[in-house]
Amino acid sequence: MTRRLISLVSLIVLLLLCFSAPAFAHKVYLYAWVEGNTVYTESYFSGGVKVDNGLIQVFDPAGKKLLEGHTNAKGEFSFRIPEKTDLRIVINASMGHRSEYILKADELGGSSASETGNKPAVDVTKTEPSAPVQVNADEIRKIVDESLDSRLRPIARSIARLQEEKGPGFTEIIGGIGYIFGIMGLLLYFRNRKK
Amino acid sequence: MIFVVFLFGENEERAMHISEGVLSAPVLISGAVIAAGGVGIGIRKLDYDRIPQVAVLSSAFFVASLVHVPIGPSSVHLILNGLLGLLLGWTAFPAILIALFLQAVLFQFGGVTTLGVNTVTMALPAVLCYLVFRKGVMSEQPKVSMVFSFSCGAGAVFFAGILVALALMSTGKSFSAAAKLIVVAHIPVMAIEGIITMLCVRFLKKVKPEVLEVTHD
């Protein structure tokens, strides 16, 4: 192993780095969001390729399968909320690609969440003197909840997407190469001490 | 490059790294056992002077997975296992294991539980091609050497696809369908890696022939 060979291969590695920076390899992403009582999911491979006809399975926290289906050509699949529990949504794309997304029960929204929210509301409104306010407070709360939900949903979606799409960055790539050479250094050190 | 990938965007990807939670425990365990055996042999054959070479090739493998090949029916990436096999012999096992581990941890490619299986699917073809093609690569006749170098680079990718299909058989997929899908998707990769291996061998023969001449068995 000469210096020239090392520098050649290092050059190749560097060239590969330049090519690789924008295109992050194969990984499947799944994200899900709720609108009304329907759960929407979208699945795609890194690079933006949609998962066509991927198998989606939905499990409850106990691991019982609630339903399954296939994504369409746009990678989308939607279903009505089967149960108000945490939902584990699993995508199985072809050739060993798999990913999952956990949709928490409180993200499912709907009646169960607003029922629990009502209890303190009653206490507050009872201290209020006038009856009409009591009715209105509940209604206002409901309306505010609904409009907040619909306003925040796109933001929640884009946050989910941002988190998911984060592929390996420059730091990870350089870090990995650094680890490899660190291991090399350790090996050389220990073998050298033996001599 | 992203633009090109999007042009071919409507197809699924078929890649070599098997993710977590796809394979059953017996397959994972036997993969880990075979990988451990290969790594053991590789470490025993690793001599002090060649440690830097192993590290450089390990990092080349580590980065190669990030290089998409946007030609053909689906988007796949380079593997470079044939080149590693040819230059490292059995030492390709530990080199690929370390690179795959870092890919799993840093890039979330493959996974820690599938590390054994993935190491076997990529390093075993590397060693196999090394054993089969090495003599031909060392041939004095440039044409023979070129043909064998190309076959070494391309063949290692081909066998890796076959092994991935074998591993996926345990999930109830038909072997022939899975193998066809993976191998066809990797035809451009085979061609590119064949050419890369050919160029590397030609360069090394001119500049530093003893790197190739060292036997690892």
Q: Tell whether B50 is within 8 A of chain A (Cβ).
A: yes
Helices (H) and strands (E) in chain B, counts: 10, 2
pTM: 0.66
Domain ranges of chain A: 26-108
ipTM of the complex model = 0.79
Q: Tell whether B64 is within 8 A of chain A (Cβ).
A: yes
Helix (H, G, I), strand (E, B) or coil at B160: helix
Residue B128 CB burial class (10 angstroms; 0-12, 13-18, ≥19): middle
Of A19, A172, A183, the CB nearest to B106: A172
Helix (H, G, I), strand (E, B) or coil at A56: strand
Residue B209 CB burial class (10 angstroms; 0-12, 13-18, ≥19): exposed
Helix (H) or strand (E) holding A102: strand A97-103
CA distances from A152 to A12, A32, A162, B174 (A): 47, 14, 15, 45
pLDDT surpassing 70 at residue B200 = yes
- pLDDT tens-digit map of A51-60: 888 888 888 8
Q: Which domains does chain B have, with CATH numbers?
A: 23-207 (1.10.1760.20)
DSSP secondary structure letter of residue B18:
P
Of A87-91, A106-110, A142-146, B42-46, the range with the highest mean pLDDT is B42-46
Cβ-defined contact of B53 to A25 (cutoff 8 Å): no
CA distances from B52 to A93, A183, B55, B107, B166 (A): 38, 10, 5, 24, 34
Q: What angle do CA B165, B167, B169 make, to 5 degrees?
A: 70
- pLDDT tens-digit map of B60-93: 999 998 887 776 656 688 999 999 999 999 999 9
Q: Tell whether B164 is within 8 A of chain A (Cβ).
A: yes
- pLDDT tens-digit map of B171-189: 877 888 888 888 888 898 9
Q: Tell whether A17 is within 8 A of chain B (Cβ).
A: yes
Report d(CA A15, CA A136) in Å as an integer.
66
Assigned token pair, B35: 């990988």
Report d(CA B56, CA B44) in Å as an integer.
19
- pLDDT tens-digit map of B105-163: 988 888 899 999 999 999 999 999 999 999 999 988 999 999 999 999 999 999 999 99
Pick the CATH number of A26-108 from 1.10.150.120, 2.60.40.1930, 1.10.20.60, 3.40.50.1000: 2.60.40.1930
CA atoms within 13 A on the CB side of B167: 35
Cβ-defined contact of A95 to B12 (cutoff 8 Å): yes
Task: Suggest the residue from B2, B3, B4, B5 to mutate for an interface test with chain A (most A CBs closer than 10 A).
Answer: B5
Helix axes B115-137, B25-44, angle to 10 degrees: 40
Contacts of A48 in chain B (CB under 8 A): 5-6, 9
Strands A28-35 and A38-45, bridge-based pairing? antiparallel
